[in-house]
Homo-oligomer: A and B are copies of this chain.
Amino acid sequence: MADLAKVAGVSKITISRALSDSPLVQRETRERLQALAHELGYKLNVSARNLRLRRSHTVAVIVEMKPSHDRTMLDPYPLILLGGISQELTAHGYSVLLTTRQGATAAAVQAADGLILLGQGSRQDAVRRFDKLGLPMVVWGAPGDEHIVVGSDNEQGGRVVAEHFIRLGRRNPVFVGNPNHPEIFERLNGFVAALAKHGVKPLLIRRDEFTLASGGDAMHSLMDRGVPFDAVFACSDLLAMGAIRALNTLGCTVPGDVSVVGYDDMPLAASFLPPLSSVRQDWQEGGTLLARKVLALIGDQPQQSETLPVELIVRET
């Protein structure tokens, strides 16, 4: 900028003003300087500006990201939220600093103007760690009173599936998933509560992995134990698909003998054989909302937690 100023025969500050379209500089001068800057290939030094302005126009997104081949694809939801987040932040001139939990100690995170936590980052211990940074922060997941949380309505998710099963006349439903995970716990809650209204008590099969294998395995162990069941609510589409395959192998028909509903409505659900019924969350909207809230917080506008509705897509299972 100093060089530019010398070439143009003005002072640094005039250059600064001209480049930021300040009305303090005469239009002609401004345009001349802008043209000159462009011509000389001048690049603003962001670090210097950040230092001076005491803000980085950057939001750190902290993701729980396991590197294994399946995991990344099987559990891609944090990454999908990224789409909405990135779009919204970019539109407001902010950048996304992507970090895993391990990397979050890196200095760069402290430079961020705000924080978005995705994935199991919602685990309380993890969240508190970032709390200490004192940055505007929004968390994806199940609502609690400690933080500003955006998430889809997992309780509603459980409820609509329960009602669906009741409507179908199912009396022995099974829930497959990991209730230690707060979001899944909410689904279970909604499921159990809605069923209770009809005097039905579901069976809980705890599975920690969100894999096809795990879903199949759950069905096998159910059959082995000889427990009667006529409906399965799986906490992810993959669990559901694995379950259906296993049920077929075991001689059960879906949806004849057993109804199955998955979660997330991944694109493949629709073309699974048979087409899978599933609960759909609006990730794009979730991401957008997360971003919007951090930006608002950064702008000192108080925010509240918010829950997004889900939708049961009834197909053939």
Q: Which residues of A contact B (CB under 8 A)?
A: 43-51, 54, 56-58, 61, 65, 67-70, 72-74, 76, 79-80, 82-84, 86-87, 89-90, 93-100, 102-103, 106-111, 133, 211-212, 238, 241-242, 245, 266-268, 270-271, 273, 283-284
Q: Closest CB-CB distance, A270 to chain B, in whole Å?
A: 8
Contact of A80 among B49, B50, B73, B284 (CB under 8 A): B73
Are A95 and B106 touching (Cβ within 8 A)?
yes
Contact of A212 among B48, B110, B267 (CB under 8 A): B267
Are A97 and B100 touching (Cβ within 8 A)?
no
Q: Closest CB-CB distance, A84 to chain B, in whole Å?
A: 7
Inter-chain pairs besides A69-B283, A212-B271, A273-B273, 12 sampled, C-beta below 8 Å: A43-B110, A46-B107, A46-B110, A47-B54, A67-B87, A70-B267, A72-B283, A86-B100, A90-B99, A95-B97, A97-B97, A245-B273
Contact of A284 among B67, B107, B211, B271 (CB under 8 A): B67
Q: Closest CB-CB distance, A264 to chain B, in whole Å?
A: 9
Contact of A51 among B51, B80, B109, B273 (CB under 8 A): B51
Please, which residues of chain B bring their CB within 8 A of the CB of A73? Answer: 76, 80, 266-267
A-B contact pairs, 19 of them (CB 8 A): A43-B133, A61-B98, A65-B83, A67-B84, A69-B267, A69-B284, A72-B79, A72-B83, A73-B80, A73-B267, A74-B267, A76-B76, A76-B79, A90-B106, A93-B106, A95-B106, A245-B273, A268-B268, A273-B273
